[in-house]
Amino acid sequence: MNQMLQEPQVESPEVKSSEVKAPETIDPPVPSHPRFQKPQRVAFVQSAWHREVVEECRIAFLGELEARHITNVDLFEVPGSFEIPLHAQILAKTRRYTAIVAAGLVVDGGIYRHEFVADTVIKALMDVQLRTEVPIFSAVLTPQQFHESAAHLDFFRRHFALKGVEVAEACANTLLSLERLRGQVAAGIA
């Protein structure tokens, strides 16, 4: 036998409008991020090519990094993504920075194919990181298709803002991990 359960019908008492309370709004909890034992200093190197898109990454990156207790960030701009690795290497060699972040948008055009430029930049950044032991993070992106239409530019602005948050999370989490690891190595634990 198939029966639907029904709630009993109860007449509700009359409620005056002065007795009705507005629902309380509950703010979402603010994430608590661990603090660093030592101050962190980060370099952010961005390409000037498609600045209006790439700056969305920088803005989101700075906001998320501040929430993660890293406020000492130096900003650098280079003409294009191809120039980022050399700047990253020079900055890493100064030993002033605990991390370096690269941001750029590589699209078709110019004398190089965008896949070549993107691959070259990423490989060079990895080489710098391994040579200098300064972590380097990349938000150098290359879309398969890019058109300078309003819709595409709007899409990539939003995408770069998301990537800015993601690269800040990766940067902060890696710096925390390295801080713990270096402490363990100094203590002879690792």
The residues carrying an active-site annotation are 113
With H, G, I as helix, E, B as strand and everything else as coil, classify residue 72: strand
Could you give the CA distance from residue 12 to residue 153 in angstroms, rounded to a whole number? 54
Could you give the CA distance from residue 153 to residue 147 in angstroms, rounded to a whole number? 8
Inter-CA distances, 108 with 105, 111, 115, 145, 160, Å: 10, 9, 9, 8, 18
| Residue 140, strand partner residues | 104
